[in-house]
Structure 1
Amino acid sequence: MNQDTIIPNTIAFVKEELKNAEGGHDWFHIERVFRNALLIAKEEKVDVLVVSLAALLHDIADPKFHQGDETIGPKKATKFLIAQKVPKEIGQHVVKIIKHVSFKNSLSNDKRKFTSKELEVVQDADRLDAIGAIGIARCFNYGGFKNRELYNPEILPNLTLTKEEYKNSNAPTINHFYEKLLLLKDQMNTSTGKQIALKRHQFMEEYLNQFYSEWNGKL
């Protein structure tokens, strides 16, 4: 592994793989998560290389765009890391993070979940990009991509979703706020993540208040 080229090579690889990706899960999402991860890592005792590689590769093949197949991303990442001659221990750690970083895995009953400080950092970084102003934009962008209703007062959020129900949901986009986005503030792992999440969470609450006012024809 060449320490000077591994990150630039990874960035180039991810940009190429995601050049036609949906707008909320494209290279710019990866870049924001990468920046968030480096910011959070400054306050944590972690392997910054593992954090960097995992942040850059975490959505290399998001299952929601591959018929729900959760094996493609880890396989692509593994192949790339081997080609870059990344030490086996580092590569395995990165791939484990990719397998466990997603919110939907928090809905699983699997008690054998992998944990590490590096995972916590990347997970917080990824979740921060799902909330706040950008999180709202990404949420509606994906809802439009899936041709979902913006909101339907007759379809209530499901607050007890299983992992499979979450993966297969076609609920209106507003429901996603209650089924995921508004839950993330309290699921942050790091002090930096919690601090940033609080401000973004408050912005989402303000947005929803405005949304309902406009929906109901109020001033």
Structure 2
Amino acid sequence: MLVTAEIISLTVDHIRNVLANDSSGHDWWHIDRVRRTALEIARQEQADLGVVELAALLHDIADWKFHGGDEHAGPRAAREWLERNHVDPTVVDAVCGIVAGVSFKGAGVATEMPTLEGKCVQDGDRLDAIGAIGIARAFAFGGHFGRPMHDPETPHQLHESFAAYKAKHSPTINHFYEKLLLLKDRMQTSTGRRLAAQRHAFMEAYLKQFFSEWNADFGRQSPVNA
């Protein structure tokens, strides 16, 4: 599908402006990392690079988490932007389909992408949610919404519906068990799975250290699933 250098450049400027004041971990640099990662996956998997790049740039244009839980806000904003810039309708549909389906929606909710391009973008987005940067983003997000770092009296939940997942207000450490530690096994490309392995292991090591310090467990390591 034809995606011009001009629309990529315009979209970069647009997204940088839209997300200029974000402090939740969904800022421009998140978008740029997802773009670069998704493009690398796309090269390895032989996907359409133009569609992947454009969808990666637009995947958080209006995230439901910041728009009252409206899951249609993102694809709607992406479509308005692309149509205003006279992008080919086939590209518009492909990109908006990816934007609509990219988000994690709960442990019990299937979110498989129907296209190779969608798989590349979704894997790129999920890779940025795990590992060292993923840990930093999780705490930035929790702080942004005033959530506690950890509360051992609040058990984590594996949400069975998107509605339940959207309604959650759990501590940041719970988020590891409710989403982040699940992502390795939800990668949809072989490249994504390979890249996820090391980042997942880093999170497991981090949690062992976190609980060791939290519990003043000097000389012992608490299990990841504490």
Q: Please confirm whether the aligned pair reaches a TM-score higher than 0.5, indicating the same fold.
A: yes
CA separation of 1:97 and 1:2: change in aligned 2, threshold 3 A: closer
Amino acid at match of 1:21: D
Once the 2 structures are TM-superposed, how far is the Cα of residue 164 of structure 1 from its aligned partner? Answer: 1.0
Once the 2 structures are TM-superposed, how far is the Cα of residue 4 of structure 1 from its aligned partner? Answer: 2.8
Partner in structure 2 of residue 68 of structure 1: 69
After superposition, the CA RMSD in angstroms is 1.7
Which aligned segments of 4 or more residues in structure 1 are displaced greater than 4 angstroms? none
Once the 2 structures are TM-superposed, how far is the Cα of residue 148 of structure 1 from its aligned partner? Answer: 1.0
Q: What is the CA deviation profile of residues 112-144 of structure 1, one whole-angstrom value per residue up to 9, with x for unaligned ones?
A: x76111110000000000000000000011111
Unpaired stretches in structure 1, ≥5 consecutive residues = none
TM (norm. structure 2) is: 0.91
Pair 1:56-2:57 in alignment: yes
CA separation of 1:168 and 1:160: change in aligned 2, threshold 3 A: closer
Partner in structure 2 of residue 173 of structure 1: 172
Once the 2 structures are TM-superposed, how far is the Cα of residue 109 of structure 1 from its aligned partner? Answer: 7.0
SS in 2 for 1:217: coil
Contact 1:96 / 1:114 at 8 angstroms: preserved in 2?
no
Partner in structure 2 of residue 146 of structure 1: 145
Segment of structure 1 superposing worse, 145-154 or 91-100: 145-154
Partner in structure 2 of residue 188 of structure 1: 187
SS in 2 for 1:86: coil
**Aligned residues between the structures:** 217
TM (norm. structure 1) is: 0.94
Unpaired stretches in structure 2, ≥5 consecutive residues = 219-226
Once the 2 structures are TM-superposed, how far is the Cα of residue 45 of structure 1 from its aligned partner? Answer: 2.5
SS in 2 for 1:89: helix
CA separation of 1:101 and 1:201: change in aligned 2, threshold 3 A: same
Segment of structure 1 superposing worse, 181-190 or 151-160: 151-160
1: CA distance, partners of 2:184 / 2:147: 25
CA separation of 1:77 and 1:106: change in aligned 2, threshold 3 A: farther
Identity of aligned residues (%): 50
Segment of structure 1 superposing worse, 48-57 or 14-23: 14-23
1: CA distance, partners of 2:122 / 2:106: 11
